[in-house]
Amino acid sequence: MNRPRAASSWIGAVVLGVACTLLGQGAGTAADNKGSSLPPADYVRLVEPSVKVTVDALGGEVTRRSAEKARVAMVMLAAFAQYDLSGTDGAQRATLRDAALDTAARIKDKKYAEAVTQAKGLTKVAANPQARKEKVKLLGPVVDVDELMSQFRAPDKGGLDIENLFDKLAGVADGQLPAAALNDDLRLTAYRTAVAAELCKEHTPPQKAPLWQKLSDEMRLQAVRLAEAVQAKDGKAAFQAVEKLNASCNHCHREFR
């Protein structure tokens, strides 16, 4: 944000969502409830795209950036999976989390071929009843803020082009997002952003830690509002959420970057 924009084709470029419809969920309700940053139905829809990011990133000549992109996608998948381990699919989610983290570790060890094979199997891992149902700490041990933020960068910098997308959306003329933008890809991108914000919040900067936490919360809240507005096909509310979301990014970057 506040930087020159790379040319980006807007919808489409970003995240590789799966086309489906979602079960009804009222706008403006779940946003304030911490447990709802990632509805179960959308968790399921994030698995395949996450695998695809990793497999594609490791597909050609692997650079530092593409390895980072592949690894962060696996860590995010682990975060999506362990988002809620309390349901009947808890063992399945915990197993998938562990496998995704294992894949991330292989990428770190530069065992790219093994990582690709393992990643491809993630869409159909069988639940291990022994998998730990407690959340594993991700921010710190396996991912840092810089890596988390790398998802928002342009594709040529190892990102998913999310920052450019949000900037573009906030720049529409009449204060409301067009109907075509209110699609599954944007909703999933918004939930990805919300989960990234929650991870971000676990970081404690040496100074102004309360402000860091407040801005992480704001990022999460507006990302969920965006997702819910997209779901409700409310272009005005979606626009307002995008504006506030971008404000939270910019505020934090001014203070901490």
Binding site residues, ligand HEC, CB under 6 A = 145-146, 149, 152-153, 157, 162-163, 166, 193, 200, 212, 215-216, 219, 245, 248-249, 252-253, 256-257
Q: How far is the CB of 204 from ligand HEC (least distance, A)?
A: 11
Cα distance between residue 226 and residue 234, in whole Å: 9
Which residue, 40 or 205, has its beta carbon nearer to ligand HEC?
205
Q: How far is the CB of 200 from ligand HEC (least distance, A)?
A: 5
3-state helix, strand, coil in the chain (%, to 5): 65, 0, 35
Which residue, 142 or 149, has its beta carbon nearer to ligand HEC?
149
Which residue, 32 or 109, has its beta carbon nearer to ligand HEC?
32
Which residue, 133 or 254, has its beta carbon nearer to ligand HEC?
254
Q: What count of other Cβ atoms lies within 10 Å of the Cβ of residue 245?
A: 26
Q: What count of other Cβ atoms lies within 10 Å of the Cβ of residue 255?
A: 13
Q: How far is the CB of 134 from ligand HEC (least distance, A)?
A: 25
Which residue, 118 or 248, has its beta carbon nearer to ligand HEC?
248
Let me know: does 170 contact 207? Beta carbons within 8 Å: no
**How far lies 110's CA from each of 2, 58, 97, 107, 151, in Å?**
35, 10, 20, 5, 20
Q: How far is the CB of 148 from ligand HEC (least distance, A)?
A: 8
Q: How far is the CB of 40 from ligand HEC (least distance, A)?
A: 23
Nearest 10 degrees: Cα torsion 39, 40, 44, 47 = 70
